[in-house]
């Protein structure tokens, strides 16, 4: 059996799997990400997960082709984190690729975690079989990826796809975790929706509270979700006009808000796209159980590449 190791590092959990060349996860582990303990602890957990997966695969006689990783932050082509938000303090500057290569003894490829998610959606999810896809994840932050002919387009510095940092105007000077103001992430991420709802008199600690209130009939909550969806839709429309993808896939926690948010996204996409991109379907992510891990593993197989 020929397999790859895929690992996925987020702000709260580190997941990994042994993935066969058909994209099936044959072994999977999850551990908490020790974000508060600093970058050395975070990297150590990632390497421990990868090393344990390698040991599991070798113990069953599998041939390992490599290790792919999707990690939070902007990742340069050499596998070094060049920028990260406050979710992982001190993470910028971490050489993930070298550490994973040392821990596993395998060839390693590293991309941003949303890039890995996009590869999973293109391989086995909502964008399967499509020549190109724009994948956007809306949760604690907002990230994006453009996949063309199986390749994630990462750009010169690994920043391509960062739709969360597209300026959306409004003049409110809402701070973005990247240090800028009035970016899409500052207006339409999960925390931004909660903040907007509370400013208008609502009571919520988490996005799930806003969604529950909206489903219970709260006009205030429905308005906060619809407003965020409209903002996302306008940013998506501009990006669709620029890239002209075959499909757009929306993932992340905010999408669980359902039609309240997605309908607003689609209305703004129709209102602001050119005639060609206007016909592109905007679909919710398939919600693959191990989508990020599958996408990360595909980085070291013929089915997933970065460029």
Mean of the per-residue pLDDT values of the chain: 92
Fold entry, domain 130-284 = Nucleotidyltransferase; domain 5 (3.30.420)
Q: Higher-confidence residue: 277 or 22?
A: 277
For residues 229 and 256, is the Cβ–Cβ distance under 8 A? Answer: no
2-120+289-306 has which CATH code? 3.30.420.40
Evaluated on CA atoms 209, 214, 217, 220, the torsion sign reads positive
Residue-level pLDDT at 42: 96
pLDDT in tens, 44-88: 999 999 999 999 999 999 999 999 999 988 999 899 999 887 778
Tens digits of per-residue pLDDT, 148-188? 998 889 888 888 999 999 999 777 899 998 889 999 999 99
* Each residue's pLDDT tens digit, 209-256: 999 999 999 999 999 999 999 999 999 999 999 999 999 999 988 778
Using one digit for the tens of pLDDT, what is the confidence trace for 6-53? 999 988 899 999 999 988 999 999 999 999 999 999 999 999 999 999
The span from the CA of 44 to the CA of 103, in Å, is 9
Residue 303 pLDDT? 54
CB 215 within 8 A of CB 261: no
> What pLDDT sits at residue 241?
98
Sheet holding 282-284, edge to edge: 282-284, 247-251, 132-138, 142-148, 151-152, 305-306
**Can you give the pTM of this predicted structure?**
0.86
For the chain, the structural domain boundaries read: 2-120+289-306, 130-284
């Amino acid at each position: 059996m020929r397999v790859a190791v895929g690992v996925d590092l987020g702000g709260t959990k580190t997941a990994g799997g042994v993935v066969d060349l058909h994209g099936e996860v044959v072994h999977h582990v999850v551990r908490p990400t020790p974000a508060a303990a600093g970058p050395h602890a975070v990297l150590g957990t990632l390497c421990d997960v990868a090393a344990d997966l390698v040991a599991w695969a070798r113990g069953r006689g599998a041939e390992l082709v490599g290790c792919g990783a999707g990690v939070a932050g902007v990742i340069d082509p050499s596998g070094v984190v060049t920028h990260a938000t406050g979710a992982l303090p001190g993470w910028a500057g971490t050489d993930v690729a070298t550490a994973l290569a040392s821990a596993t003894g395998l060839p390693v490829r590293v991309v941003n975690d949303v890039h890995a998610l996009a590869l999973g959606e293109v391989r086995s999810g909502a964008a399967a079989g499509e020549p190109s896809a724009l994948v956007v994840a809306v949760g604690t932050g907002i990230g994006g990826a453009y996949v063309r002919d199986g390749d994630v387009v990462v750009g010169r510095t690994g920043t391509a796809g960062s739709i969360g940092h597209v300026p959306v105007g409004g003049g409110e000077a809402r701070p973005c975790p990247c240090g800028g103001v009035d970016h899409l992430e500052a207006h339409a991420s999960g925390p931004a929706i909660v903040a907007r709802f509370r400013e208008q008199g609502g009571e919520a600690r988490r996005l799930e509270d806003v969604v529950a209130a909206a489903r219970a009939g709260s006009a205030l909550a429905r308005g906060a979700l619809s407003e965020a969806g409209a903002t996302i839709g306008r940013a998506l429309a501009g990006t669709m006009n620029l890239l002209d993808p075959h499909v757009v896939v929306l993932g992340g926690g905010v999408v669980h808000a359902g039609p309240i948010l997605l309908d607003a996204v689609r209305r703004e996409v129709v209102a602001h796209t050119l005639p060609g991109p206007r016909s592109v379907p905007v679909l919710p992510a398939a919600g693959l159980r191990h989508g990020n891990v599958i996408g990360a593993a595909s980085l070291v197989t013929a089915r997933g590449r970065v460029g």
